[in-house]
């Protein structure tokens, strides 16, 4: 019997390639025989890995072979987005778009003040956007940055969609800081009215909510809250 690590390694490899755009929509994957040879595993192990990607909506199969789904209903975790920022200078996946609905300096809620270790009344940059693939809305996100970053990167206060994807990379360049610690937390719950409106859902629909926190020894660089609707898949690899 193939080890779970081998099965997950194959699925993780192709999932990452699809989410980052290395494999694009409609592109044909290697044959099962070619995968068996590359990974030195049995056919059953390859089939198990592909079945997982099929369930996630990342691939489709036909008599002609296995292909990247035309419009994969998937989005990336904070971990994957940080990896894309570091490698590609963009926080969006290949084919993913975003619509920025707010970009402003505001006094944040108390729990966000605590995360940034602010004094009462201090401001932060707050950005809100909806990301999607084609007509499918895949995520609502609210991202917070220290207020002084707005002077270093004026685009933080712009709602232009074209400027959204590369903002984290611009912040790191302008501030001279490096993200050395990152954490994601996720929880399933029901969406509220604001989230339902943004994602085209009914109030109370099940969603996956999450946060990411990216920081260094000086403190938090970026704190994000995001909501993923039902039937949108996220995934990440782990292990030694």
The pLDDT of residue 1 is: 43
CATH classification number, 78-229, choose in 3.40.1410.10, 3.40.190.10, 3.90.850.10, 3.40.640.10: 3.40.1410.10
Q: Which value, to the nearest 10 degrees, does the dihedral of the CA atoms of residues 128, 176, 85, 185 take?
A: -60
Share of the chain above pLDDT 70, in %: 94
Domain residues of the chain, as ranges? 4-68, 78-229
Task: Classify residue 25 as exposed, middle or buried by CB count within 10 Å of its CB (0-12, 13-18, 19+).
Answer: middle
Distance separating alpha carbons of residues 201 and 191, to the nearest angstrom: 8
- Under 8 Å CB-to-CB from 173, ≥6 apart: which residues? none
The pLDDT of residue 72 is: 56
Q: The tokens 């570091």 sit on which residue?
A: 86
Q: What is the pTM of this model?
A: 0.72
- Under 8 Å CB-to-CB from 137, ≥6 apart: which residues? 130, 131, 198, 199, 200, 229
- Under 8 Å CB-to-CB from 106, ≥6 apart: which residues? 123, 124, 126
What's the whole-number mean pLDDT along residues 8-34? 86
Q: Which fold has domain 4-68?
A: Arc Repressor Mutant, subunit A (1.10.10)
Average pLDDT, the chain: 89
Distance separating alpha carbons of residues 9 and 46, to the nearest angstrom: 10
Would the pLDDT of 73 be above 70?
no
């Amino acid at each position: 019997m193939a080890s779970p690590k081998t099965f997950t390694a194959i699925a993780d490899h192709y999932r990452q390639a699809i989410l980052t755009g290395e494999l694009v929509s409609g592109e044909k994957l290697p044959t099962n025989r070619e995968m068996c040879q590359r990974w030195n595993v049995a056919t059953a192990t390859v089939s198990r890995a592909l079945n997982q990607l099929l369930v996630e909506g990342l691939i489709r199969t036909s008599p002609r072979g296995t292909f990247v789904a035309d419009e994969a209903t998937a989005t990336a975790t904070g971990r994957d987005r940080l990896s894309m920022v570091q490698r590609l200078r963009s926080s969006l996946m290949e084919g993913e778009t975003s619509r920025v609905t707010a970009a402003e300096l505001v006094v944040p809620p108390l729990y966000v003040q605590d995360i940034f270790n602010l004094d009462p009344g201090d401001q932060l940059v707050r950005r809100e956007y909806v990301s999607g693939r084609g007509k499918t809305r895949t995520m609502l996100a609210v991202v917070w940055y220290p207020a002084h970053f707005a002077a270093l990167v004026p685009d933080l206060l712009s709602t232009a969609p074209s400027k959204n994807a590369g903002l984290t990379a611009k912040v790191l360049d302008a501030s001279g800081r490096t993200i050395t610690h990152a954490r994601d937390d996720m929880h399933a719950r029901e969406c509220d009215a604001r989230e339902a409106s943004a994602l085209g859902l009914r109030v109370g629909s099940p969603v996956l909510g999450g946060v990411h926190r990216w920081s260094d020894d000086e403190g938090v660089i970026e704190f994000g809250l995001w909501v993923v609707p039902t039937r949108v898949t996220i995934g990440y690899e782990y292990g030694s």
